[in-house]
Amino acid sequence: MTDRIVVTGGAGYIGSHVSVSLLEAGKALLVIDDFSNSCPEALRRIEEIANAKIEFLKADLANPALAEKITETVRRFRPSGAVHLAGLKAVGESVEEPARYYRVNLNSALTLVAALEAAGAKRLVFSSSATVYGDRSQSPVSESAALGPTNPYGRTKFFIEEMLRDIARADPEWKIANLRYFNPVGAHASGRIGEDPNGVPNNLFPFIAQVAVGRRDKLKVFGGDYPTRDGTGVRDYIHVSDLARGHLAALDYLAREKSPGVIDVNLGTGRGYSVLEAVAAFKRASNRDIPYEIAPRRDGDVAEIYADAALAERLFGWKAEKSIEEMCADTWRWQSANPDGYGR
């Protein structure tokens, strides 16, 4: 019997790669997305890559007026579980618009939980974030590290994790995995799907890619005086295709285990690269110059953070496989073939 999975935000950057991974594993998908940070072309390309069809519902999960329609659509689909990726995700924007972030992110999760309960599908993989960790000065960061996010975006992830824990305590039939991402980068090896942010990119790799392709003049490197090997911040970058495989592994783990309750699992590579190392790797992959300037540090940034990813390997049999060179080569393949992204 085909495993049927709901994917919220399935047309987005991470969601599109997760959707491909699940389809290629033989799962049937219902994607729910409102295209607020994605577009229909991504869905067409997902189907093309995976050679499979997707059921789709255009809907804003945070809109109470659509909750009944969403629940009915999910019930009719008869899923066994879901991957919840929909939500707002820009740290800086969350500081400027905290009420919007709490409303959208928390309401989206609550709507999905209610729909899954109505469908009797109590298996959920939640897209969380390493921003839930508090003191991030010590790396590698394990799942037992202190929690205490420092911005509204991170707090929405933390609150949803806690909400899901309470739901699972009240109803032991729930099986939930909170996947704490580090820094997803890269694109599908086909070059057909990749990261296409609205406006000015908030993250390093899409900004570097847009400089390389000529859409931006230069990169701003925030902080050149950190106590790291070259003075720039060090982060754990994980290829989005490795990340997508992690969601598939988590779903299958929840299906196998009798009663895992709620598990918190890091998805990262377990090593860090500096901003200048990432720039140099991208320069090699693209054979393009990447002009940059050193700018003042940003508030809240730490010098170095990377994951302890041992738990994912122990529980799921999963580990990141792709190198920084592959991350850069795949990002450039996507960006150079799609200089304007999906052309939204």
φ, ψ of residue 111 in degrees (nearest 5): -65, -45
**Token pair for 268:** 């990262």
Q: Catalytic: 153? A: yes
How many other CB atoms sit within 10 Å of the CB of residue 150?
16
**Token pair for 105:** 């992110």
Task: Return the DSSP state at 132.
Answer: G
Between strands 273-274 and 234-235, the pairing is: antiparallel
Distances in Å between the alpha carbon of 128 and those of 8, 103, 159, 291, 296? 13, 17, 10, 33, 29
Q: Who contacts 167 (Cβ-Cβ below 8 Å, separation ≥6)?
A: 113, 174, 176
φ, ψ of residue 232 in degrees (nearest 5): -105, 160
The rounded Cα 268 to chain-centroid distance in angstroms is: 11
The rounded Cα 153 to chain-centroid distance in angstroms is: 13
**Token pair for 183:** 């820094």
**Which member of 101, 133, 153, 292 is catalytic?**
153
Tokens 């890091």 appear where? 266
Sign of the dihedral defined by the CA atoms of residues 146, 315, 248, 285, in that order? positive
Active site residues: 153
